[in-house]
Amino acid sequence: MKKSSINIVIAFVLGATVAGGIAVAEMNNTGGVKACVDNKTKALFLSADGKCTKGRSPLELTTNAFDIKNIAATVTPSVVSIAVETPTSGGSGSGWVYQSTANSSYIVTNNHVIDAVASGSGSITVEFSNGDQIDAKIVGRDKAYDVALLQINKGNLAALNIGDSTKLVVGEPVIAIGSPLGLASTVTTGIISALNRPVSAGTAGAESFVNAIQTDAAINPGNSGGALINAQGQIIGVNSAIATLSSGGTSGSIGLGFAIPITEAKRVIDEIISSPTNTSTRPLLGVYFDNTYTGIGAKILRLTPGEGAEVAGIPAGSVIRSIGGQRVTDQVSAVVRIRSYAPGGTISVTVDLPNGGGTKTFTVKLGKAPSNG
């Protein structure tokens, strides 16, 4: 039987905002990575020797067992609730502080959280764990990667430390922080259940494609845009989608949550910040897929002249079996694998050649195209 990629129904809906403290589960600290916490901003800094400068207190983060209490208390002030209001509807989600200067800060969230305002009119309000609220404006967004960047006129905020999602291992513990159903500063824990999970979300013609981190940490409607944190207190994923049961409707957590890898999201965010037009790009293989193909893999219908696939010599009619060593089961997984790379990158593409020509691996340099903001 053919194994298909997952199409996730995004069911992140408005919930009543509830002010409150941080709910965490405490575990014994058994030793691990040493860090320092800024006494004022509560920002977390790694320390190779365990020594802290003036104004920072020592903290030891566990690796085999989470020190959930300390990590959550340190990271949660940098995770925000986001309320969206339009003339006809409202919604909510989560976000987190990416960068901060003396006067303003960038907040990262999912595009689908703020899409209603971006596509029409309305307001976006960011709320911090202490209850402070402030209006936000959209700087830029990328529908294809489901990433959006907001800006607020509030500075000197503690930004989250960025981890490396390319070094994740299945089974390592994680913390999800966000505002499910409007319940601000909610902390849940679990493990990384799978990596490189091809997930498409959204409606036809406006899908996002994510080479997702799968986790069993409880993620519910409203967690969208929140932070997935590792044992070192670093963000390694942006919580984005949950699986719903085939019966349809809005679902709660069933242990199948998906996050955008932070290394993938960071490229898009940095492009939005640095671009004069606050836009981003996506990698381009230079192929059109055959939507009628029902076999395993992704069949190339035709090539884009002058782009990577044609230059590398891949013939039309070939069926892609793997990209970068990752198996391709269908068209969705092919798109996801391609978009997990940066434009200009070089990848290996293994195909079954047409007319029984056997299997061959090509080296392709990816092109660049504007992403759909």
CA dihedral 75, 90, 121, 128 (to 10 degrees): -20
112 has catalytic annotation: yes
142 has catalytic annotation: no
DSSP letter for each residue of 186-233: EEEEEEEEEEEEEEEESSTTS-EEEEEEEE-S---TT-TT-EEE-TTS
Question: In terms of Cα–Cα distance, which of 36, 9, 33 is closest to 231?
Answer: 33
238: which strand partners? 227, 260
Catalytic residue among 112, 208, 280, 333: 112
Two tokens, residue 284: 């381009």
Residues 6+ apart with CB under 8 A from 336: 5, 198, 199, 200, 209, 210, 211
- Answer for the pair 108, 95: CB distance below 8 angstroms, yes or no: yes
179 has catalytic annotation: no
Two tokens, residue 64: 């085999």
Question: In terms of Cα–Cα distance, which of 194, 233, 223 is closest to 211?
Answer: 194
Taking the CB of residue 362, how many other CB atoms lie within 10 A of it?
18
Catalytic residue among 5, 78, 200, 224: 224
Taking the CB of residue 134, how many other CB atoms lie within 10 A of it?
15
Question: In terms of Cα–Cα distance, which of 117, 147, 367, 113 is closest to 273?
Answer: 147
- Answer for the pair 80, 135: CB distance below 8 angstroms, yes or no: no
Catalytic residue among 67, 146, 330, 352: 146
Q: Which residues of 87-125 are buried (b: 16+ CB within 10 A; e: fewer)?
A: eeeebbbbbbbbbbeeeebbbbbbbbbbbbbbeeebebb
Q: Cite the active site residues.
A: 112, 146, 224
